[in-house]
């Protein structure tokens, strides 16, 4: 089966000469259609850079990235991104925020009545899917962080993207809200059949969500190990306490520590926290 996303020997160097930073070296990975793949790794190993390259926001300096067999040349409607910071338009209501990306793409003048009707139907369906119907007319500053991120996800889904690229989307949320968001994004993934590439600092989150966890290592950023997650496709919170989950979590944490040159758990926590603060 052809890959949805094919990353082939991708390299990325920022700057040149003495100031050059090799952010990625020879990264290759195939992501299948409708796969949910998560990326973890020490701070600075190139996770965000790789995601931005797939999103077309950054240009790679070596190799090739194909989506549906076509090389990417920049951002496209087939790929949507969700970041840690919600980036909603404060002057638009929840519903308007969700419809906004579509309006931007087509231009208001060229929209027919049928387009507007279809967009409204899609927006209503996404509001319901994300549990936001009651908040449809609220302003972003009236919403909790979790609700704002649901709006951002709904907005990303509005144009029916084939690929959803998520960079630490739940990094700023409290632990309880994150759990709710985890089950919600798994539900979205099942329903919308999107391919999801998800970057996180949280190994537990990476295992709970991913069919595969890709561990990257720094200096230069590269893929170190790819783990198949030995859990059923339908995830339940209780699975986090199973021996296979805990074994994998321990193995990944140990490998992050080894690849990042951190000696103690405290070193690692410090670095992960620094990464989270910098993100």
**Between 14 and 89, CB nearer to ligand ATP:** 14
Interface with ligand ATP, residue 14, by CB under 6 A: yes
Interface with ligand ATP, residue 256, by CB under 6 A: no
Interface with ligand ATP, residue 47, by CB under 6 A: yes
**Between 68 and 204, CB nearer to ligand ATP:** 204
CB of 168 to ligand ATP, least distance (A): 7
Query: DSSP 3-state assignment of 80?
Result: strand
Under 8 Å between Cβ of 15 and 21: yes
Stretch that binds ligand ATP, among 40-48, 73-81, 180-188, 205-213 (CB under 6 A): 40-48
CB-based contacts of 216: which residues, under 8 Å, 6+ apart? 39, 40, 41, 45, 46, 47, 50, 222, 223, 224
Stretch that binds ligand ATP, among 13-21, 95-103, 179-187, 205-213 (CB under 6 A): 13-21
CB of 201 to ligand ATP, least distance (A): 6
Interface with ligand ATP, residue 21, by CB under 6 A: yes
Question: What sign does the dihedral 174-176-181-186 (CA atoms) show?
Answer: positive
Question: Residue 261: how many CB atoms within 10 A of its CB?
Answer: 12
**Between 134 and 277, CB nearer to ligand ATP:** 277
H or E segment and range at residue 244: helix 243-260
CB of 50 to ligand ATP, least distance (A): 7
CB of 144 to ligand ATP, least distance (A): 24
Strands of the chain, DSSP E:
5-14, 21-31, 36-41, 62-67, 70-71, 79-82, 163-167, 195-199, 212-217, 222-228
Q: How far apart are CA 252 and CA 145, in angstroms?
A: 29
CB of 97 to ligand ATP, least distance (A): 26
User: Could you tell me which of 76, 272, 90, 242 has the C-alpha nearest to residue 171?
Assistant: 272
Residue 168, Cβ density class (10 Å: 0-12 exposed, 13-18 middle, ≥19 buried)? buried
Interface with ligand ATP, residue 48, by CB under 6 A: yes
Under 8 Å between Cβ of 227 and 252: yes
Binding mask 208-237 for ligand ATP (x = CB under 6 A): -------------x----------------
Q: In what side-by-side order are the strands of the sheet with 195-199?
A: 79-82, 163-167, 195-199, 36-41, 212-217, 222-228
Interface with ligand ATP, residue 55, by CB under 6 A: no
**Could you say which residues in the range 260-279 bind ligand ATP, by CB under 6 A?**
275, 278-279
Interface with ligand ATP, residue 259, by CB under 6 A: no
Interface with ligand ATP, residue 23, by CB under 6 A: yes
Q: What residues line the site for ligand ATP (CB under 6 A)?
A: 14-15, 21, 23, 41, 43-49, 221, 275, 278-279
């Amino acid at each position: 089966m052809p890959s949805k996303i094919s990353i082939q020997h991708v390299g990325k160097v920022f700057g040149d000469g003495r100031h050059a930073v090799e952010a990625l070296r020879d990264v290759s990975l195939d992501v299948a259609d409708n796969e949910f793949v998560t990326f973890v790794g020490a701070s600075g190993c190139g996770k965000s850079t790789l995601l931005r390259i797939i999103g077309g926001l950054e240009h790679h300096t070596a190799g090739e990235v194909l989506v549906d067999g076509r090389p990417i040349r920049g951002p496209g409607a087939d790929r949507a991104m969700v970041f840690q910071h919600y980036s909603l338009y404060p002057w638009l209501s929840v519903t308007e925020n969700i419809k906004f990306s579509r309006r931007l793409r087509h231009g208001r003048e060229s929209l027919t009545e049928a387009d507007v009707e279809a967009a409204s139907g899609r927006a209503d369906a996404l509001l319901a899917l994300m549990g936001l119907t009651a908040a449809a007319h609220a302003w972003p500053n009236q919403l909790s962080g979790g609700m704002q991120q649901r709006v951002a996800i709904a907005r990303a889904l509005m144009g029916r993207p084939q690929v959803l690229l998520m960079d630490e989307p739940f990094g700023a949320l409290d632990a309880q809200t994150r759990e709710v968001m985890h089950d919600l994004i798994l539900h979205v993934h099942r329903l919308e059949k999107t391919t999801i590439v998800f970057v996180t600092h949280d190994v537990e989150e990476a295992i709970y969500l991913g069919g595969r966890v890709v561990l990257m290592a720094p200096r230069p950023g590269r893929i170190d190990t790819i783990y198949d997650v030995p859990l059923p496709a339908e995830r339940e919170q209780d699975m986090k306490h199973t021996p296979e989950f805990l074994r994998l979590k321990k193995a990944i944490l140990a490998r992050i520590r080894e690849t990042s040159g951190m000696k103690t758990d405290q070193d690692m926590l410090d670095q992960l926290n620094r990464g989270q603060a910098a993100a």
